[in-house]
Amino acid sequence: MQEKYVLTKGKLVRDRIPQIIRADGAEPEVYVADLDEYRQRLRAKLTEEVAEYMEADETHAPEELADILEVAFALAADLGVDPDQLEKLRASKAEQRGGFSERFVWTGNR
């Protein structure tokens, strides 16, 4: 059974953040999450990054999309899927079902 963590304290940060904090003269308090907690925190991070994208203006939106991709790649890696495989899956789905460039909005069937 998968253990549930209460994710009230701390947040998942990029790998170099503790080093950057140290370079700024502070000492970060960090620990390494176990696999179950890591998976939960990745999902929470995805929600956080999507929310930041939704709030971003056009200038900052590309940076927020890059953050979303980084989390998506980490989630994929956790599933044993590398970025190339993920892109192949995306391309296959786009070939079968299309992308979103036509801007269609479905409102139901007649």
Report yes or no on 81 lying in a domain: yes
Report yes or no on 46 lying in a domain: yes
**Nearest CA to 69 among 53, 88, 91?**
53
Query: Is residue 7 over pLDDT 80?
Result: no
Query: Is residue 93 over pLDDT 50?
Result: yes
pLDDT tens digits, one per residue of 41-58: 999 999 999 999 999 999
Report yes or no on 26 lying in a domain: no
Report yes or no on 10 lying in a domain: no
Q: Please, which pLDDT band fits residue 9 given cuts at 50, 70 and 90?
A: confident
Report yes or no on 15 lying in a domain: no
Report yes or no on 70 lying in a domain: yes
What residue spans of 56-82 are helical by DSSP H? Answer: 61-78
Report yes or no on 8 lying in a domain: no
pTM: 0.85
Report yes or no on 25 lying in a domain: no
pLDDT of residue 1: 46
Count: domains in the chain: 1
76: domain range?
34-96
Q: Give how far Cα 27 sits from Cα of 13, 24, 51, 52, 95, Å.
A: 15, 9, 29, 27, 49
